[in-house]
Structure 1
Amino acid sequence: MKTNEELQRDVQNAIKWEPQLHAAEIGVTAKDGIVTLMGTVDAYYKKIEAENAAKNVDGVKAVVEEIEVRYSNDSSDEDIANSALKALIYNLAVPHESIQMKVEKGWITLEGQVTWNYQKEAAEKSIRHIKDIKGVTNHIRIKAEIQNEIDKKNIKKALASNWTLHSENIFVRVEGQKVILTGAVSSLYQKNLAEKIVWKTPGIWSVDNQLVVEHKYAISE
């Protein structure tokens, strides 16, 4: 069992060991599995790196993100849009012709429709390192070309094949092209991993991840 202080230290160390981050920029508090990140960074991708580092720490149930991006304001929205469009075009995993974009005060919103979740994720990752962006909202929809009946047994096998998951505690329900996950896992990392595994199944349009993170915490004196 971890105390709040131990969880706070573990998250601080995880951020410290990220090569693109300076731990001094980011403050961490922890209470009963809820971790709050505070401070400022000079690039949007650093904000995402800090969040991902915290999520991967065992015992983290949720992350409250209060990191502010302070950027130079050298780039106009038009500059950002041009750079983002080029980034989408150069990434062969992204069907850029199916994606629309809006840029407002440094914030990029992605819309459109793709056939696989990895394409949606690739589109967002492509633009995270663009200079002076303040954030990204990804509204890209998934509509798979394959509409065969989704086999729940195959999803269960895929979850069971990953040794880091206790798949016996994960329950799968299929409603048309939607997969619903319920049950319990021991970390936020496992919750996100289970969803990523499910997304690899052909024919899925959406995943409703209702997994609960269960982790015991020692009471601090």
Structure 2
Amino acid sequence: MKKSNDVLSKEVIEGLKWEPLLNSNNIEVSVHDGTVTLSGAVDNYNNKKQAEQTVKHISGVKSVIDNVEVKLSASSIRNDTDITSSVIKALKEKWAIPNHRVTVTVKDGWVTLGGILHWNFQRKAADNAIRYLDGVRGVIDEIKIQAEIRNEIEKEIVEKALTRSWILDINNIKVRVDGKTIFLSGFVSSLFQKEEAERIAWDTTGVWYVDNELIVEFD
């Protein structure tokens, strides 16, 4: 059943307060037709990401607009040179990330990641590696995925992979393949399902891009 804006707003606020490490007092919530907009401020980048992820797991949420700012305490502010060194070190310590393939630039605490990786999970690992670092205000992801394996992507293989997930109803999901791109369309019943379908598609051998056009719709 579709939730009213007031009901969903209340549940989002309660969900944010439930997170033990997230100080949600300075996060503002507005809801319109299933779209949740977060604004206000938190004191580190990890809390910004945590707030967004928390909301995405709440039933009734169709999409999240994250306008939360990171306002660092005086003790957490660092210059861009120090942040760059910390980011490079953190990336090197992650075995999943070929450090010679990721470029790092930092301006006013904003980290821009560039370069080419073979898998999307490597791109996710790069973001996760730096989300806890002091001084980081945000991450701009400009990494491109170019699969090392040049296999042709078969639509049936993607569909079988989606079928193996117990949370997805493959009957409501359409898959189209064009070269190295996988297109997902149709309907799912939660934002979590939409992201799970995209994650599975990204794990396909040979994929360079996933266009997720799935619509979140509730009974």
Q: Confirm or deny a common fold (TM above 0.5).
A: yes
Q: Percent identity?
A: 45
Is residue 2:100 matched to residue 1:108? no
Letter in 1 for 2:80: D
Deviates more, 1:130-139 or 1:60-69: 60-69
Is residue 2:121 matched to residue 1:124? no
If the length of structure 2 is used for normalisation, what is the TM-score?
0.94
Is residue 2:51 matched to residue 1:50? yes
Alignment of 1:201-212 (within 5 A): 201-212=204-215
2:177 counterpart (161, 174, 179): 174
Which residue is equivalent to 2:191? 188
Instruction: Measure how far apart 1:5 and its partner are.
Output: 1.8
Number of equivalent positions: 216
Letter in 2 for 1:51: E
CA distance in structure 1 between the partners assigned to 2:111 and 2:24 by the alignment? 27
2:91 counterpart (84, 88, 91): 88
Alignment of 1:126-165 (within 5 A): 126-165=129-168
Is the CA contact 1:170–1:183 (under 8 Å) kept in the aligned structure 2?
yes
CA distance in structure 1 between the partners assigned to 2:102 and 2:56 by the alignment? 28
Secondary structure of the residue aligned to 1:24 is coil
Letter in 2 for 1:113: I
CA distance in structure 2 between the partners assigned to 1:38 and 1:150 by the alignment? 40
Letter in 1 for 2:69: E
Secondary structure of the residue aligned to 1:164 is coil
Instruction: Measure how far apart 1:159 and its partner are.
Output: 1.0
Secondary structure of the residue aligned to 2:113 is strand
If the length of structure 1 is used for normalisation, what is the TM-score?
0.93
Secondary structure of the residue aligned to 1:23 is coil
> Deviation string for 1:4-33 (max 9, x for gaps)?
122112212221222220232222221210
Which residue is equivalent to 1:69? 70
Is residue 2:100 matched to residue 1:97? yes
Secondary structure of the residue aligned to 1:154 is helix
Deviates more, 1:133-142 or 1:73-82: 73-82
Mark the runs of 5 or more structure 2 residues left unpaired by the alignment: none
CA RMSD of aligned residues (A): 1.3
Instruction: Measure how far apart 1:61 and its partner are.
Output: 1.2
Say which structure, 1 or 2, has more relative contact order (CA 8 Å, 6+ apart): 1
Which residue is equivalent to 1:17? 18
Mark the runs of 5 or more structure 1 residues left unpaired by the alignment: 217-221
Which residue is equivalent to 1:29? 30
Is the CA contact 1:72–1:132 (under 8 Å) kept in the aligned structure 2?
no
Instruction: Measure how far apart 1:184 and its partner are.
Output: 1.1
